[in-house]
Structure 1
Amino acid sequence: MVYVLCAPVRRGDNQLTVDLRQTREGKLALLAYSTLDRLVDCCGPEQPWTLIPTADLEKIRLDTGFEIVLLDLEIPEEHRRRAEVS
């Protein structure tokens, strides 16, 4: 199992959207975290997430086209998700 970042859920959404990031080299990356504590430390408490079996990573890759998985990567403060203001 890994914790995977999701895009913020909007009213009326019925599915989660995996939050992919582009690397400096231009590759599309899926960010995954080994523990929830690690995710919060690396991404902040407002980052949406979901827990998935590692066996599902290939299906997500086929659905989204990500090129690499980055594990336990710290996201700089300026690139972290923030709570949306209503």
Structure 2
Amino acid sequence: MVPPVLYLPIVPATNQAGEEFVVRRLSNGRYGILAYTALDRLAKSCGAEQPWVLLPIEQLERVKEVQPFDVVAFDLDVPETQRSADRLR
């Protein structure tokens, strides 16, 4: 069961000011937005210093319009090689 809100990690935007959600290419070639069902899971998977936003699940479609993705990657464990200073790179 998916909770009514999700914790989404954010990173500095690559080509504009501000932040963006984390969308990663998955092993199957699709693009997944990282989403966590609990804050402790986000901290364990992305690092304790990882910035995040709390998003109501019904707003995911609006996010997809601005930052396209194929699937929601729930509680994905991010390898430490993709982290720096206890947060995502």
With normalisation by structure 2, the TM-score equals: 0.78
* Greater displacement, 60-69 / 73-82: 73-82
Q: Quick check: which one's strand share is greater?
A: 2
Q: Secondary structure at the match of 2:42?
A: helix
AA at the equivalent of 1:46: E
Following superposition, the deviation at residue 5 of structure 1 comes to 1.2
Contact 2:34 2:74 in 1 (8 A): yes
Match of residue 27 from structure 1: 30
| Residue 77 of structure 2 corresponds to residue 74 of structure 1 | yes
> What do you get for the CA RMSD once the two structures are aligned?
2.0
Identity %: 35
Structure 1 gaps of 5+ residues are: none
Deviation at 1:59, TM superposition (A): 0.6
Which amino acid in structure 2 is aligned with residue 42 of structure 1? S
* Equivalent in 8, 11, 14 of residue 7 of structure 1: 11
Normalising by structure 1, report the TM-score: 0.80
Letter in 2 for 1:49: W
Partners of 2:68 and 2:79 in 1: CA distance: 24
